Structure formats: structure tokens, C-alpha cells
Amino acid sequence: MNRLRLIRVTGPFGNYAITRNYDDSLLNRKTFSLPFPESPAPRISRGLRELKVPGIDPSLTLLQRGTQVMSLKSHAAWAVPVALAGAAPASAQYMMHLDPNTYILATMLANRGPNTCMTGAPPPDSEIEEARQPAPGVMQAYFDAAQSGGAMSGAFRKNDKSSWSHGGATVTFEQIDAQRDPLAASGNRLDSEPLRFFRAGNFQSAQAQWAVLDAAGSVAGVYDAIFRRQGSEWKLQDHTVLEAGEAVAPAVQYCVKPGDVTPHKIESATNQIEALEKQIGKSEAKLERDAERLAQAEAKLADKPDSSRQKESVARASATVENRESKLAEQREWLEKARDRLMKSNRDAAEIAAMTLPARDALQLRSFELTTDKEAAEEKAAKEADAAE
């Protein structure tokens, strides 16, 4: 039985200190700092909560099985859901991807360190290249088999989760070779490079979109594919065939499942704004109350200017007001940042929707880049330039 001990959660957005025990023997202790304020995190000042997790690898258990959730009461206006792994009846199971805080904690544990992939941060270039390099060969092998009437399933992972989709219908691995790919017609060819390619932020998969061209060089359709490893080899896991008139949404950086980052960021920012607005309202009320108490203390001191007791009372009341003002300013700053993240996330969603095109126009997807990603790249370049000076 493994144990994960959630020792402490502190700070405005949370620092998760987690101790891993295997067979009741302490192996290591790590403090994981959440490097992004996507969701409000609680501040728990004391108290231990032990999570008992079956299996050798608690992170895999958290990600791969249904989860039950309990809430830890917090001193803030929110609570942190904590995932307890293990089999549970359907009525007790909780889909952790529906709760941003639980999702962050689970994926953070799975990556054995700080989780940033729900911000849309890509893996290192070396990790992207490791998945990208074999992808053209795998896709070409699939296309050649489809065009020649061979076994298309040879390009897929051999398990019942592998799928092939076309026209709204999906089949699993054993039925793939019985399908006919309309894009693999005589005279058509697979474009040499993908239109778009992204490796998942959790490193477990990659998504690629490929154009299939006809003899005149026009786009006959698009392949939208998910790759995963089988042993040391990358193979197709899910393959969708989209004909010329079907809509293709541009692939973008994702964390666990294609398309998961932007909805998560919108939901997280929305939840944080709601929580902070409530907190600010309470803080403003407390500040008004404490300012009135300060005024009363100052009035009493004016009546008794030599009273050390009244001086101490004014000093305490003044310090309280100062702390309230500082906290309120900090909360307002967090609120503005959350609103900025929500604006950018909604802009991302709008740009993705605007670039969802018929497959025949898919060559436009090759140059598509979210404004948020452009801004992040420019900011990174500027910082690197400053550091080099």
C-alpha cells in the first residue's frame, strides 16, 4: 500500500508539499509549487490528510481509474478537492477532468513534478522531436496500405482502444482492415509533412493533421491522427478520415486530450474570478469596519493624548487597516490577472473557431498560430535578449 501525504497547501495559488511513502518507508519528500494561477488554490495552515493509493505507481492510479473526491475545508472561500484513487461504484466515481483543481493535482502527481501543461505550455523541443520524427513514416505506411489494399492495422497499436473513424462511424482495431479509406484513391498522395503536430503536455501522446492531395495538388481531405507508443515505437491510436467538405478544427497544444487546454483555462479563470470577487467583497466590508474602529480609536486618543493604552489601541487598529488594505490590493491584482487570462482564453477559443475550415482549405492551418502563443513567444524572446545583454 502506497501513501501520499498532502502536508500543506499555502500561498495565493498554492504550494503542494507531498511526501511519498512506499511500504511505510519514507523515500523522498518533494514540494511541488504550482507555477500558474489557473485555479484558486486553498490556504490550509495546519492538519494532515493521508491518501492511501493502491498499486505501485500512485500517479498512474490517479489518472487511469475512476476517482472519489473529498473536500478539505479551507480558510479561503473555496475548498480543494483531493482525489482518492481506487475502484469505486459508478455512483461514487468523480470525473476529475470536470474539476480544475482536482485535475491539476492529479496531473501534477502523474508528472512527478510541477504541472504546467494545462496552461498550454509545450514539452521541450527534444521531446516533441522524439515523437515527430517517426510520425511521417507511420502515416505513410498507413496510406500505402490503404491505397494498395493491404493491412492498414499494421500502422496502429494492437489493442482494443485503437480506432479508425470516417463519416461519423468508428471501428476498433479488429475491424480496421475491413474499411475503405476514400482519401487513398488512385492518384492521391500523402503530403510529405504534417499540417500541424503537437505532443501532449503530459508526454503520453501526439496529435498530427495531414493533408492528402489529389493529382492536381488540391486537398482531397485531411487525416487527424493521435499517436501513442507501443513499446518503444510510436503508432496510430486514433485515426479520423475527413473528406474535402468536412470541417477541420486546427490542432493546438493540449495537455492530456486534444482540445482540453482552452476550455480548462476558461473554466479555471471564470471560477477564480467568481471566488476573488466574493473575497474582495468580504475584504472591503472588513476594511470598512476596521477603518471605523481606527477612527473611533483615534477619537479616543484625541480625548486622552497622553494615554499609552489609547496609543497602543490606535497602533493596533492602524496596523489592522494597513494589513487589510494590503490584502485587498493583492486580491484586486489577482482579479485583474484572472480577468486578463479569461480574456485571452476566450480570444483563443474564438480564433480556433474562426480557423475551423472545410478540409479542402486545410493548407491554411499550416501557418495558424494563436495570438496568445505569439505574445508568449515574443515575451520569451525579449527576456532572453535582455539576459544576453
Give residue 224's region: left, alpha or beta (phi > 0; psi -120 to 50): beta
* Per-residue pLDDT tens over the stretch 284-338: 999 999 999 999 999 999 999 999 999 999 999 999 999 999 999 999 999 999 9
Q: Residue 88 has what pLDDT? A: 31
| Element of type H or E holding 333 | helix 308-354
279-354: in CATH 1.20.58: yes
Which burial class, exposed, middle or buried, applies to 389 when counting CB atoms under 10 A from its CB (0-12, 13-18, 19+)?
exposed
- pTM for this one? 0.69
CATH class for the domain made up of 118-265+358-389: alpha beta
In the three-class reduction of DSSP (H, G, I as helix; E, B as strand; rest coil), residue 63 is classed as helix
* Grid cell locating 24: 511505510
- Nearest 5°: the CA angle 307, 308, 312 is 120
The domain locations on the chain are: 2-115, 118-265+358-389, 279-354
Q: 204-226: per-residue pLDDT in tens?
A: 999 999 999 999 999 999 999 99
